[in-house]
Amino acid sequence: MPAATKAAMSLVGSQGIVSATEVLLAAAVFCLVFLLIQSLRQHVPKGLRSPPGPRGFPILGSMLELRKDPHVVLARLSRQYGDVMEVRIGTRPVLVLSGLDTIKQALVKQGEDFMGRPDLYSFRYVTDGQSLTFSSDSGEMWKARRRLAQNALKTFSITPSPTASSICLLEEHVSREAEYLVTKFLQLMKEEKSFDPYRYLVMSVANVICAMCFGKRYDHNDQELLNIVNNTEQFDNVAASGNPADFIPVLQYLPSRAMKLFVDFNKSFVHFVQKFVKEHYETYDKNNIRDITDSLIEQCLDKKVEANPATQIPKEKIVNLVNDLFGAGFDTVTTALSWSLMYLVIYPDIQKRIQKELDQTIGQERRPRLSDQGTLPYTEAFILEVFRHSSFIPFTIPHKGTTRDTVLNGYYIPKDRCVFINQWQVNHDEKLWKDPLTFNPERFLTAEGTEVNKVEGAKVLIFGVGKRSCAGETIGRWQVFLFLTTLLQQLEFSVCDGKEVDMTPVYALTMKHRRCEYFQVKQRFSMRSMS
């Protein structure tokens, strides 16, 4: 008789046989203990050693300690145990990497070893486990499809606008949405209403990616898109590193409101994208490629690639690629812009300095363009400092070593080990940054203050590095720059008198600040037409 069953039977007492639920729970506990003991019997090759780390509690591991602000807790533990550290979350050992050099060694120099995704329970619900971003697949087919998605995203960003050949499509879409925001914010202030800018930023940023993916713009009051963009926290809360159900298997069978909302959100998101993909198939014209979805359909139907299955996209997989591009395209940019506005109202002198730079470099005769990036060093430095200081993506999506056992910094890492990359730690590492808790854009300027120090800028981790880095990083950076400069050229942001801004981040896949309902703006110059 198995040990777990014997133990369960021993729970019979003077009051009779215990309930079936109690027996099952007892059996589950004993099974978990058995798995824990087995996992501890890890064979380490001679001459190597396992990474150090805290012992944690039986069954739970370090989960109780990590239940709040795990990025901060793990950064503190890394000072004790080093840049290569192992913690147990539930019954699962997790490798935690800190330190810029160690992370680049793993994800860039040993990228093939660390480029996969773990087969986590929650990941299975993201586009039915077929997401490019969350899928555990990392083979040649995955690489080929990622390249296709990247090429489509790039093409429909830099293609010249048909209405203004001097700018690209991305500039056209962002300019249109930024102008809407300016008008909307001024309207709210004329009505003497304070407001939460996030509510409007998220719709405008989503409209940019809608235009690129589907060739469509939504009204800001459209309930269909509002239902998607206003519920992203249901995704972020579960997809964040350290979700308990991913590491304590028995929790997968217990009722969870957060998990139900996560599953429902993913279903509604896929349904939203599927509708557009279906419409695009019905109206597809190979001589008129309208947007990213058409471009992917073209690849799907291209007979030239049939000889190489890796580059051929099955029809049913297109929705997964579009879903990834759309999903990543608005949450990261919206969060970056929202944090930017928070810093601007807390540091009004920084806001004034950015506006002075805009006035001296661009003036009021035209709107900012991507080509202005190199001429606005303080603005670029501010954006980098927002990325660093807020570290609103504290961890990359978990990695794993997928191809073979490997060695990192002298430590043995077995195949399929789940890996957390602590970006927050790098962005607040006292070895890299002077006074890392201080918000100071000037740390990214050269001594003369006329250029961005690219070496310092490259140290900031927000989009990940290596083979699994964010496919839309460049497009995301462009959008943040264009939205921010267009808004600051015309508006001055502040908060209502007597109100205090709460900058405390709320931990999730992308950390957001608490909603701020008391923003106000004023117009910097009289409205006039600009080229």
212 confidence band (pLDDT: 50, 70, 90): confident
The end-to-end CA distance of the chain, in Å, is 82
pLDDT of residue 499: 87
Using an 8 Å Cβ cutoff, are 407 and 435 in contact? no
pLDDT for the residue 347: 96
Q: Tell me the binding residues.
A: 470
**Is 529 within a domain?**
no
Residue 298 and residue 266 in one domain: yes
- Looking at the domain assignment, is residue 449 inside a domain? yes
Higher pLDDT, 140 or 453: 453
Tell me, yes or no, whether 10 and 79 share the same domain. Answer: no
Residue 530 lies in a domain: no
Mean pLDDT of all residues in 406-424:
91
Looking at the structure, do residues 27 and 102 belong to the same domain, yes or no? no
More confident residue, 440 or 286: 440
Annotated binding site for heme: 470
Q: 27-41, 387-401, 445-459: which range is least confident on average?
A: 27-41
187, 209 Cβ separation under 8 angstroms: no
27 assigned to some structural domain? yes
Are 351 and 475 within one domain? yes
Q: Is residue 342 part of a domain?
A: yes
| Same domain? 149 vs 29 | no
Pair 24, 67 in one domain: no
pLDDT at 31: 56
**Which phi and psi (to 5°) does residue 468 adopt?**
-105, 15
Average pLDDT value over all residues in the chain? 81
Same domain, yes or no, for 163 and 18?
no
Range of the domain at 27: 1-41
56-95 pLDDT, tens per residue?
A: 888 888 888 888 889 999 999 999 999 999 999 888 889 9
Residue 150 has pLDDT above 80, yes or no: no
Give the mean model confidence (pLDDT) for residues 331-359.
Answer: 95
pLDDT of residue 481: 96
Q: Has residue 531 been placed in a domain?
A: no
Q: Is the dihedral of CA 289, 268, 506, 468 positive or negative?
A: negative
The vertex-462 CA angle with 461 and 466, nearest 5°, equals 65
Question: Are 334 and 397 in the same domain?
Answer: yes
Say if residue 124 is exposed, middle or buried (CB neighbours under 10 Å; 0-12, 13-18, 19+).
middle
Specify which of 124-133, 152-161, 186-195, 307-316 reaches the highest per-range mean pLDDT.
Answer: 186-195
Q: Let me know whether 37 and 58 are in one domain.
A: no
Structure tokens that stand for 102 in this block: 């160690």
Per-residue model confidence (pLDDT) at position 349: 97
Pairing mode of beta strands 418-421, 92-97: parallel
pLDDT score for 48: 84
Segment of 356-360, 463-467, 525-529 carrying the highest mean pLDDT: 356-360
Q: Nearest 5°: phi and psi at 489? A: -65, -30
Number of domains in the chain: 2
Q: pLDDT value at position 101?
A: 96
pLDDT of residue 427: 97
Chain mean position to CA 495: 28
CA separation, residue 435 to residues 9, 145, 341, 389 (Å): 60, 42, 22, 11
In a domain, residue 322? The reply is yes
Please indicate, yes or no, whether residues 375 and 456 belong to a single structural domain of this protein: yes
At 242 the pLDDT is 62
The reported pTM is 0.85
Q: Specify if 528 maps to a domain.
A: no
Residue 273 shares a structural domain with residue 182: yes
Q: Do 22 and 48 lie in a common domain?
A: no
Residue pLDDT, tens place only, 355-397: 999 999 999 889 999 999 999 999 999 999 999 999 999 998 7
The more confident residue out of 485 and 16 is 485
CA distance 165 to 159: 9
Q: What is the pLDDT of residues 479-508, one digit of tens each?
A: 999 999 999 999 999 999 888 888 989 888
The 10s digit of each residue's pLDDT in 92-108 is: 889 999 999 999 999 99
258-279 pLDDT, tens per residue? 788 778 888 888 888 888 888 9
Which CATH number is 266's domain given?
A: 1.10.630.10
Given a cut of 50, whether residue 442 has pLDDT beyond it is yes
Q: Which residues contact 417 (CB under 8 A, 6 or more apart)?
A: 93, 94, 95, 400, 401
- In the 8-state DSSP scheme, what is residue 519? E
Instruction: Average the pLDDT over 174-195 and give the result.
Output: 91
d(CA 39, CA 89) in angstroms, rounded, equals 13
